[in-house]
Chains A and B, each alone.
Chain A
């Protein structure tokens, strides 16, 4: 009986004084890993899937172009449009955009990679227009953003 009494007396509290530290550690990890979208999307953007992906290496050398159907149909219509930074542009403005992006990079301007984030429902017509413009602007390294697809075979 005496032994039972002893057991009930033992402290059962888990020390929680280190809990905030652990939580803070996690918090810092997520704070650092978080990247907020730099521009608000004005076009639909669900990426296609592909299996042979390469990772973009130097983020500073990457410039993004979004293509897809505008989310605001009343304002911009239903035709697929091109978005850079925060504005919708026409294909013939891309050369100008690439030149400004290249200027921002200074010496490394020619190493620029264009990341095309294109909605999976877009048609090749507008994409080829963009591609012609990129060739015109001599930004030849292009990355078609895609999500990982698992192959079963």
Chain B
């Protein structure tokens, strides 16, 4: 009796295991949405404390978006966003020479004022903010004399690269005032 038992050692048939694993695998493959928590980060201004900061009108670049998603930049209608980006860059950098009286005195003093209507679509708003971010990235890349892609790949956790980033941020600070929407 004992001998017989040892002969056919209890083996579980593992052939179907792969099938079961496949089934589970396919379930998870289908159910997975790899979390992509990415987005446009902005800092909101602190709660309004009636402090009137005097800013020269020369240093303010006005962007107004109405409820039909039409853009007005410095009292001129712009039809596409890259045109607006170009204008913003011209305004902020002022050709590095500070000659043009219509542009800002210096990149540090330049402020972008973005006004939206209650009826402006969110899609448009994000596009405008995104375009402004891109404009600033391009200007900072230009300031550091590196291509845009290299600038975007700079790593905050690397001390040497962080220094570069901080330097560029200091030279060209991102100042966008997101005014409360109004009826335009």
Q: Which positions in A face B, CB cutoff 8 Å?
A: 16-17, 19-20, 23-24, 26-27, 30-31, 33-36, 48-56, 59, 62, 113, 115-116, 118-125, 127-128, 131-132, 134-136, 138, 140-149, 151, 153
Contact = CB atoms under 8 A, between A and B. Distances in A.
Nearest to A116: B39
Interface of B: 14, 17-18, 21-22, 24-25, 28-29, 31-48, 82, 116-123, 125-127, 129-130, 133-134, 137, 178, 180-181
B120 to A, nearest CB: 4
Nearest to B17: A20
B180 A56 contact: no
Contacts of A135: 44-48
Given A27-B24, A34-B31, A144-B40, A128 B121 contact: no
12 contacts: A23-B22, A24-B21, A27-B28, A30-B28, A35-B33, A52-B40, A54-B41, A135-B46, A140-B45, A141-B41, A142-B41, A144-B129
B137 A123 contact: no
Q: Which of B25, B116, B121 has the most CB of A within 10 A?
A: B25
Nearest to A46: B123
A33 B24 CA distance: 14
Contact of A143 (B40, B119, B121, B137): B40
Contacts of B37: 55-56, 59, 62, 115, 145
A146 B82 CA distance: 19
A23 B127 CA distance: 43
Chain B binding surface SS class: mixed
B38 A144 contact: no
A48 B47 contact: no
Contacts of B181: 124-125, 128
Contacts of B21: 20, 23-24, 27
A115 B38 CA distance: 9
Contacts of A54: 38-41
A148 B38 contact: yes
A23 B17 CA distance: 10
Shortest 5 CB-CB distances between A and B: which pairs? A125-B118, A52-B133, A30-B28, A23-B21, A50-B130
Contacts of A136: 47
Contact of A138 (B28, B43, B47, B127): B47
A135 B22 CA distance: 50
Q: Which of B18, B35, B45, B116 has the most CB of A within 10 A?
A: B18
Contacts of B46: 135, 138, 140
Contacts of B126: 48-50, 120, 144, 146
A72 B83 CA distance: 40
